[in-house]
């Protein structure tokens, strides 16, 4: 064969091989594996941009939950009437500026009633009351707020308290009353029930306008 012709054939063969190699590099990694027959690990997912059709989701297998019902408005319980041997519904009120003392003393009263066999109808907290203490300046008539006091109240409501057991209960409570905590006992009324809810003058004004 002519040496010149053989050299031209070799150059054409090398160009064809380089062209095939470039086309192989432009295909996907999976195609490269098939072409070269290798076992090269692919470091990225091929299905990232493909639709999954909710594969792997399990929430649609669960039954649908019923919508939550709104809590009914708290209704006032019937007031127990007093008898000749027992009191009716009584409110043991604990109040003070230190919430920790008030909370612990009300828990002590609740536990004591349980030990003495006194029926506790309810135990709840009243809305915190805020009191501002103002001081008059030495020169001038302007008042400045010196301190803000927060009064915390807890109610332990008992019913059908035996008249003979009442003095014993009060004596124990007064002897264990902590400093800075006030204690009072009185009959429960509808006004005491309404005091459990925080006053909202803005809402009451809007409801009055809608009513008219």
- Cα 72 to Cα 69, 75, 79: the distances in Å are 9, 8, 20
Q: Give CA–CA dist 13/191, Å, rounded.
A: 105
Q: Is residue 6 part of a domain?
A: yes
156, pLDDT greater than 90: yes
Same domain, 128 and 31: no
In the prediction, which pLDDT does 10 show? Answer: 67
Same domain, 115 and 16: no
- 94 and 193 share one domain: yes
Query: What pLDDT does 34 receive?
Result: 46
pLDDT at 9: 62
CA distance 199 to 128: 11
- Mean pLDDT over each residue of the chain, to the nearest integer: 77
Contact 133, 149 (CB under 8 A): yes
The answer to whether residue 134 scores a pLDDT higher than 70 is yes
pLDDT digits (tens, 9 = 90+) for 61-88: 778 777 777 766 667 777 878 888 889 8
Which residue stretches of 74-145 are H helix?
99-116
Does 73 map to a domain?
A: no
Q: Looking at residue 35, what is its pLDDT?
A: 45
Residues 19 and 120 in one domain: no
Q: 165 or 200: whose pLDDT is higher? A: 165
Same domain, residue pair 14 and 102: no
Rounded CA separation 49/6 (Å): 50
Identify whether the C-beta of residue 33 lies closer than 8 Å to the C-beta of residue 39.
yes
Burial bucket for residue 60 (CB in 10 Å: 0-12, 13-18, 19+): exposed
34 with 94, same domain?
Answer: no
Question: Residue 27 has what pLDDT?
Answer: 46
User: What is the reported pTM?
Assistant: 0.58
**Residue 210 is assigned to a structural domain of this protein:** no
Question: Same domain for 34 and 102?
Answer: no
Closest listed residue to residue 116, CA positions, set 164, 154, 81: 164
Do 35 and 134 share a structural domain? no
The verdict on residue 24 lying in a domain is: yes
Q: Looking at the predicted structure, is the pLDDT value of residue 166 above 50? A: yes
Per the domain annotation, does 55 fall within a domain? no
CATH number of the domain at 168, please: 3.30.70.600
Residues 35 and 100 in one domain: no
Residues 91-97: what's their mean pLDDT? 94
The count of structural domains within the chain is: 2
pLDDT digits (tens, 9 = 90+) for 10-68: 655 665 555 555 554 554 454 444 444 444 445 555 556 666 666 667 776 778 777 77
Under a CB-based contact definition with an 8 Å cutoff, are residues 123 and 174 in contact? no
Higher-pLDDT residue of 146, 160: 160
Highest mean pLDDT, choosing among 1-15, 53-67, 80-94, 187-201: 80-94
Is 76 part of any domain?
Answer: no
Do 29 and 118 lie in one domain? The reply is no
| Shared domain check, 185 and 95 | yes
C-alpha–C-alpha distance, residues 129 and 131, integer Å: 7
DSSP letter (8 states) at residue 158 = E
Q: Does 94 fall in a domain?
A: yes
Residue 50 lies in a domain: no
Torsional sign, CA 42, 46, 49, 54: negative
95: left (phi over 0), alpha (psi -120 to 50) or beta: beta
The domain of 97 spans 89-198
Nearest to 130 by CA among 145, 143, 149: 149
Residues 125 and 36 placed together within one structural domain of the fold:
no
Q: Residue 209 burial (CB < 10 Å; 0-12/13-18/19+)?
A: exposed
Tokens read off for 141: 């008539």
Q: What is the pLDDT of residue 168?
A: 92
Q: What six digits make up the tokens of 133? A: 């203490």
């Amino acid at each position: 064969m002519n040496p010149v012709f053989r050299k031209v054939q070799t150059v054409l063969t090398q160009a064809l091989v380089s062209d095939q190699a470039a086309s192989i590099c432009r295909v996907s990694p999976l195609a490269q594996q098939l072409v070269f027959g290798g076992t090269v690990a692919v470091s990225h997912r091929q299905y990232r941009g493909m639709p999954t059709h909710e594969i792997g989701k399990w929430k649609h297998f669960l039954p649908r939950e019923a919508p939550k019902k709104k809590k009914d408005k708290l209704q006032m319980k019937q007031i127990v009437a007093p008898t000749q041997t027992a009191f009716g519904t009584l409110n043991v009120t604990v109040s003070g500026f230190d919430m920790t003392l008030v909370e612990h003393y009300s828990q002590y009263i609740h536990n004591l009633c349980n030990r003495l066999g006194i029926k506790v109808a309810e135990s709840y907290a009243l809305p915190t009351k805020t009191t501002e203490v103002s001081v008059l300046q030495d020169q001038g008539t302007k008042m400045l707020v010196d301190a803000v006091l927060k009064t915390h109240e807890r109610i332990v409501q008992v019913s059908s308290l035996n008249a003979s057991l009442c003095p014993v209960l009060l004596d124990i409570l007064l002897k264990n009353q902590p400093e800075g905590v006030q204690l009072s006992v009185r009959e429960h009324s509808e006004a005491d029930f309404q005091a459990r809810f925080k006053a909202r003058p803005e809402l009451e004004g809007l409801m009055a306008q809608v009513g008219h």
